[in-house]
Chains A and B, each alone.
Chain A
Amino acid sequence: DQQVKQNSPSLSVQEGRISILNCDYTNSMFDYFLWYKKYPAEGPTFLISISSIKDKNEDGRFTVFLNKSAKHLSLHIVPSQPGDSAVYFCAASAEASGGSNYKLTFGKGTLLTVNP
Chain B
Amino acid sequence: NAGVTQTPKFQVLKTGQSMTLQCAQDMNHEYMSWYRQDPGMGLRLIHYSVGAGITDQGEVPNGYNVSRSTTEDFPLRLLSAAPSQTSVYFCASSYDRFRETQYFGPGTRLLVL
Contact = CB atoms under 8 A, between A and B. Distances in A.
Assign chain B's interface to a size class.
Answer: 20 to 34
Nearest to B38: A108
A43 interface: yes
Interface residues of A, number: 26
B107 A46 contact: no
A108 B102 contact: no
A101 interface: yes
A89 B94 CA distance: 18
A33 B54 CA distance: 25
A59 interface: no
Cβ-closest 5 pairs across A and B: A43-B104, A46-B101, A100-B97, A106-B42, A106-B43
28 contacts: A32-B99, A41-B107, A44-B43, A49-B99, A49-B101, A89-B42, A91-B43, A95-B98, A100-B97, A100-B98, A101-B31, A101-B101, A101-B102, A102-B31, A102-B48, A102-B50, A102-B92, A102-B97, A103-B48, A103-B58, A104-B45, A104-B102, A105-B45, A105-B59, A106-B42, A107-B42, A108-B40, A108-B42
Interface of B: 4, 31-33, 35, 40-45, 48, 50, 58-59, 90, 92, 94, 96-107
